[in-house]
Amino acid sequence: GLSLGLMDGAGVNLGFGITDKLGARVGYGLIPSFLIKEYGIDLPAWGGNPAASTAVTAKLPGSGNLLVDFHPTGGSFRVTAGLFFSSSDFVKVYNTKALPDSYHQAGIAYWINETTTDNADRYRIKSDAKGIVSAAFKSGAVKPFIGVGFGSAVPKNRVGVAFDLGIEYTGGFDLQADAFNRKDELETLSLTAGGLKRTVKEIRTNKDDTSYDKYFDYVDKLRSLPVLPVARLSVFVKLF
């Protein structure tokens, strides 16, 4: 069958019956890249880095799923449990236009919070050799799912429609990036809203501009969000 869902995008699924009340599904879903926008960013000259313009976008990995459906009354209503599988990089954020070489040499200063004055808390996030800086929202690669729905993956007629609504457990998200400490040693940092606000403030021409701060607050909100909603509409064609 074919599906369209929140969180797992467009997908293909194969369902089969086990008993009159029990069935199973395996599938794979992916959010097409053309649906994900790019956002232009102008960086002023700062800390030895020249002014530059770039664009930022995101990449979401595909996800597989293994689900078991239980129809308690033998009808359309069902309870579903199972697992979603994906890369631990739930969302990867990166620039699509290369930054100047100086960003590979000097990097962008990142402070671990908004108020620290200790240079030991100052890191440098560098672009790679291709001028790309990236960070990723990390979560568990295996995510348990529970939900309810209507319809069957093995329709009684030739074509059937099914709907799922539930939640998958992620354990929360951690935004991580590789950065160099004061000893020029590479570490993996957990980026926070406070640290990102301070970092961006220091490279702004207008120090009073806080227009981006509201977006950084989502970093901490996602860290404390243990579950995500799942909604999916599927069309199944009976093969046998």
How does pLDDT run across 110-144, given as a tens digit for each residue?
Answer: 878 777 777 777 888 888 888 898 899 898 899 99
Residue % of the chain over a pLDDT of 70: 95
Judge contact between 29 and 17, C-beta under 8 A. no
Structure tokens at 178: 């590789």
Residue with tokens 């449990």: 81
* Statement: residue 181 has pLDDT above 80: yes
Looking at residue 150, what is its pLDDT?
93
Supply the DSSP symbol for 197. Answer: H
Element (H, E) at 92: strand 89-95
Looking at residue 206, what is its pLDDT?
58
Q: Which pLDDT band, with edges at 50, 70 and 90, does 205 fall under?
A: low
Helix 193-203 / helix 213-223 crossing angle, nearest 10 deg? 160
Question: Residue 177 and residue 100: Cα distance in Å, rounded?
Answer: 19
Supply angle C-alpha 155, 237, 143, rounded to 5: 80
* Mean pLDDT of the chain, nearest integer: 85
Residue with tokens 């999916």: 232
Between residues 83 and 219, the one the model is more confident about: 83
Looking at residue 209, what is its pLDDT?
67
Q: Phi/psi at 170 (nearest 5 deg)? A: -105, -25
Looking at residue 163, what is its pLDDT?
92
The predicted-structure confidence for 63-98, as pLDDT tens digits, reads as follows 999 999 999 998 899 999 999 998 888 888 888 888
Between residues 167 and 103, the one the model is more confident about: 167
Instruction: Compute the half-sphere exposure of residue 230: CA atoms within 13 Å on the CB side of its CA.
Output: 27
Between residues 116 and 194, the one the model is more confident about: 194
Question: Residue 208 and residue 71: Cα distance in Å, rounded?
Answer: 58
